[in-house]
Structure 1
Amino acid sequence: MTTTVDRLVDSVRALPSIPRALQEVMDTLNNEEASVSDIVDPLSRDMALTFKVLRMANAAHFGLQKQVASIDDAIHLVGLNAVRTMVISSGLMGAFDEIAGFDMKRFWRLSLLSGLIGRDIAKQCGEHPEQAYTATLMHGLGVLALHRAFPEECQQIDRKCKDTTPQDRALCEIDGIGIHHGQVGAEIAKKWNLPETVAQAIKDYAFPQVQSSKMSLIAFVATAFAIDLEDKKSIEELGVGVAPHIFGSLGCAREDLLDMVERWVSYRNSTDLLVS
């Protein structure tokens, strides 16, 4: 009899390998003293990933006054941490193949938008913005792993799930498979040696509790706003599905976060270009 643990293991085993340069850059998330060379050296051995990072660096949401032509230029203009997040985003987007019947463009738009919003919320709440970006960017990776491990079950979930809230797909997955993508995503984060705070946030984000870590709450709220923006809801509708006690536990009022909506709309427009 297949157990939940067996299915979790099968899902993680179904993952594609990631570029070595990406793994080396992700390893630096555990190193507060990471240097420029820790980012530049791995990229110097992976020209395809370097090209994708430069494309992202030149996207509108970074607001650069000129186009950058090298990783060194990008680090000089936007900083080491920003470039590191671009490497992670670009590397992950290139590591997964298309899935029949699954809207990969929407998936990556939501992932990127959630990460950018999560970074902004973390700054507002005094949390680690780069870890928040990574956790929120990766919140849905378990969805892709589940599709690779259980394609037939996930096709049924795709037809059933509306994806209008952060919990929708997780509830459908529990009903159809017995595990949800947050649990799988947490194991992926551990496999890739990401910080425990990131793994825990991915695991808990879909079902936040008052006692959940702030990183989990950030991932939940950022994803909720990203879904609403993707679905082109009005400003008055953004985030209304998030329970007031979640904002209270986060320490940021919904109204305060809405002050950043104009910036988030620009992010949404930029993600269209990045996943086209």
Structure 2
Amino acid sequence: MTIASVTPAATVSSAERFFGGHASLPVMPEVGRKLLRSLDDDGVSLGQIAELIGKDSTLAAKVLRLANSARYSPSHTISTLQDAAMALGLETLRNLAMAASLTGTFPDVKGLDRQRFWRHSMRTAGYARLLAKLLQGDADTAYLAGLMLRTGQLMMAMTEPDQVADVEAHAGEPGSRFSLESSRFGCTHADVTAALAAHWHFPADLVEAFKDANVPLEVKPFSMLAAILHLSEVIADACEQNGDRIAALTTAVPELVEHLHLDLEFLRLRLDACGDPGQDVELMLK
């Protein structure tokens, strides 16, 4: 699936138009900002993350619900954030908190089914984390980036809900959303997410990874994170459509698979072992 050729300047201009008019810029909660900054702090402790989450009662309640879900199979009821920290570990606790914080940042929008959207985003995040570990990338950053990858589409839907809904109705092939949006809007959800990340003062390399996620093989220098994001969305699309996730990769992005020298049979085993990263989305959205 190829993406229509659009100049970088035109893409930026097209993406920025979704931040005007009645589409107000969402505000990332302060706890979410601090969780993001903690990714660069190798000395952060479990206790500090638990204490930070506890400053937001709504966020804390979501994290506790998730910690008690079947996906994490707790041996006993987890009733405090300290229990959750010990049961889940730093990486999982922080990832769940970031997911819960981000889902609460955006309102319901016409043109996108909220539960379906965030289930797909959580799957993309989980697959990005898995791929980052396989490819020696930063798993925590990949999880956050995967979780955010489609948030630009929420901004697009606030402005042009019918057009976004039409794209979703025609996005029948894994990975096709990028091409359909590029033809329709002159930019993709990843471009709008890059603009959102820039408005939120995210690190420049993360903003660039979102921009590069559309066609990672066409960008120099090559961005491993951008490649991981594109692959993860293709896999999440296939999962949503109950298709073969490995076959989706070989059909949608064979050149990228070859470039990364991915061992697809090993990847299949890892995907099967990780289960469904989006299975607890209902608990996240309560």
User: What letter matches 1:9 in structure 2?
Assistant: E
* Cα distance in 2, alignment partners of residues 234 and 156 from structure 1: 25
User: What letter matches 1:197 in structure 2?
Assistant: D
Structure 1 position 214, deviation (Å)? 1.2
Candidates 208, 225, 230, aligned match of 1:220:
230
Candidates 56, 73, 87, aligned match of 2:97:
87
Structure 1 position 67, deviation (Å)? 3.2
Query: For structure 2, which runs of at least 5 residues remain unmatched after alignment?
Result: 1-9
Candidates 233, 238, 242, aligned match of 1:232:
242
Q: What are the residue-to-residue correspondences of 1:163-202 with 2, within 5 Å?
A: 163-166=172-175, 168-202=176-210
Structure 1 position 271, deviation (Å)? 4.1
Q: What are the residue-to-residue correspondences of 1:19-168 with 2, within 5 Å?
A: 19-36=29-46, 38-159=48-169, 161-166=170-175, 168=176
CA 1:251/1:12 → structure 2, altered by over 3 Å: closer, same or farther?
farther
Provide the identity percentage: 24
Structure 1, residues 59-81: CA drift from partner, whole Å, max 9, x if none?
Answer: 33334333322222222222222
Contact 1:27-1:194 within 8 A present in 2 as well: no
Structure 1 position 133, deviation (Å)? 0.7
- Residue of structure 1 in register with 2:258 after alignment: 248
User: What letter matches 2:15 in structure 1?
Assistant: L
TM-score after normalising by structure 1 = 0.86
CA 1:206/1:76 → structure 2, altered by over 3 Å: closer, same or farther?
same
Candidates 5, 15, 23, aligned match of 1:8:
15
* Cα distance in 2, alignment partners of residues 156 and 261 from structure 1: 30
Candidates 203, 221, 224, aligned match of 2:211:
203
TM-score after normalising by structure 2 = 0.83
Structure 1 position 148, deviation (Å)? 1.7
CA 1:236/1:179 → structure 2, altered by over 3 Å: closer, same or farther?
closer
Structure 1 position 242, deviation (Å)? 3.9
Structure 1 position 158, deviation (Å)? 4.0
Structure 1, residues 184-234: CA drift from partner, whole Å, max 9, x if none?
Answer: 111222333433333222222232207531111111112211111111124
CA 1:235/1:247 → structure 2, altered by over 3 Å: closer, same or farther?
closer
Structure 1 position 137, deviation (Å)? 1.2
Contact 1:230-1:268 within 8 A present in 2 as well: no
CA 1:10/1:164 → structure 2, altered by over 3 Å: closer, same or farther?
same
Q: Secondary structure at the match of 1:239?
A: helix
- Residue of structure 1 in register with 2:269 after alignment: 259
Structure 1 position 12, deviation (Å)? 4.0
Structure 1 position 151, deviation (Å)? 3.6
Structure 1 position 104, deviation (Å)? 2.0
* Cα distance in 2, alignment partners of residues 155 and 274 from structure 1: 23
CA 1:152/1:234 → structure 2, altered by over 3 Å: closer, same or farther?
closer
Contact 1:218-1:250 within 8 A present in 2 as well: no
* Cα distance in 2, alignment partners of residues 192 and 63 from structure 1: 35
Structure 1 position 7, deviation (Å)? 4.2
User: What letter matches 1:29 in structure 2?
Assistant: L
Aligned residues: 272
Structure 1, residues 165-197: CA drift from partner, whole Å, max 9, x if none?
Answer: 22x223232222222211111122233343333
* Cα distance in 2, alignment partners of residues 252 and 24 from structure 1: 34
* Cα distance in 1, alignment partners of residues 262 and 229 from structure 2: 13
